[in-house]
Amino acid sequence: MKLSNTRVVIMGASSGIGAATAVAFARQGARLVLGARGKAGLEDVVHRCRQAGGEAEAIVVDAIDADAVAAFAREARTILGRIDLWFSNVGAGVVGKYAEVPIADHRRVIETNLLTHMNDAHAVLPIFLEQDHGIWVNMISSGGFVAAPYAAAYSASKYGLRGFSEALRAELGKRPNIHVCDVYPTFVDTPGFSHGANYTGAKLSYPPGVLSPEKVADAVVDLARRPRPTTAVGAPATLFRLSNFAAPNLIASAMNTYLDRWAKRADRVPDTRGALYEPPRGASGIHSGERRPAQPQNKALIVGAVALGAAVGMGLLRRRSG
C-alpha cells in the first residue's frame, strides 16, 4: 500500500536512521518535513528524497530548544496541511567509564536523547489531539531494555524514553486514533560512532552483523500502515529483552567484561566530544562505511549467550518461587 497521501515529520533526519527513513517514505510518495541541526546534512537528505520520487522540505532546528521545536511543528503543519506521523529520532552518545566522562557531557546526552523527544511530543500531541489522529514514533533502541556499560547516560536516557512512552500511551488510551509507537533496534550501521563522544582512548568500531539503517527505516514506514506499541528490529533485540527480564544485569555484566578487554586492546585514539555540541561539518550520509558481514559463529555466539542467560534467569526464578 502506497503512502502517497501521508504527511511525515522526521526529527534527526540529517544522517543515519533518520535519513534512511526519509528516503524510505519518499519512495512511497509521502510528503516530508525534515528537521535537524546540520544544514548540509539536511540538504543532502532532501536531495535523496526528491531523487526517490518524494516531496521533502528541510528546516534547521535545535531539538533541545523546546520553543524552537514548537515553532518547527507549527511550520511543518502549515507546509503539510496536517501531520500524520512524527518520527522522533534525535540521539547522541558518550562512550567511557561514567566517572571519567565530564558531567556536562552526560547532561548533554540526556538532553539530546530524552528531552528532545519530550519536546517533540509536547509540540505535536496538541496537533494530533486537534486532528483526532496521528502516530508518534519514538526511536529508543535495545538499550531501553539492557543497560550499556561505558554508556551510563545513554542507558539512563533510553530507559527514560521507554517510561515516557508508556506514560503517554496510558494518557492517550481513550484516543484510539492516536498512537505512540516505540522502536528498539540493536546496533545499526550509521555515522553515529563518529558523531559520538569517546573518552576510552580506544577506537570505536561496529561489531560484525550490525543492522542496515534501511531495515530500521522499513520498520518505521510499516508503522504508518500498522501502528503498534513496540517494534523490535533485529533478532537479538527481543532476546535481550527476555533475557534481561529473566536475569537482570547478566548481559550488562558480560558486556562490561568485554568492553574492559576491548578498551585495552583497540587502536589508540585521542578523546573527542564528537558532534555533541555542534553538528558535523558537511553531510554525513546514511551509513558508517565500516559495516562488516556477520559470521555464522558470531550469530550463534550472540543467540547462545542470550539463550543461556534466559535459561539461567528462569532457573533462578523457579527456585525463588519454589
Residue 1, domain member (yes or no): no
Three-class DSSP category at 51: helix
- Tens of pLDDT, residue by residue over 164-202, are 999 999 999 999 999 999 999 988 999 998 899 999 999
User: CA Rg, the chain, in Å?
Assistant: 20
Residue 264, domain member (yes or no): yes
Report the alpha-carbon distance of residue 230 to residue 52 in Å, rounded.
28
Report the alpha-carbon distance of residue 112 to residue 298 in Å, rounded.
32
Q: Is 258 a catalytic residue?
A: no
- Tens of pLDDT, residue by residue over 266-304, are 999 999 999 999 999 899 999 988 765 554 434 444 444
Phi, psi of 284 (to 5 degrees): -95, -20
Nearest to 255 by CA among 152, 185, 163, 153: 152
- The C-alpha angle with vertex 187 and arms to 65 and 117, in degrees rounded to 5, equals 20
Average pLDDT, the chain: 89
- The C-alpha angle with vertex 107 and arms to 240 and 191, in degrees rounded to 5, equals 60
- The C-alpha angle with vertex 48 and arms to 220 and 226, in degrees rounded to 5, equals 15
Provide the grid cell at 204.
Answer: 570505536
Domain span holding position 276? 7-321
Residue 239, domain member (yes or no): yes
The total number of structural domains in the chain stands at 1
Q: CA quadruple 166, 114, 196, 105: dihedral positive or negative? A: negative
CATH of the domain at 53: 3.40.50.720
Q: Are 95 and 18 in contact (CB under 8 A)?
A: no
Residues 150, 154, 159, 258: which is the catalytic one?
154
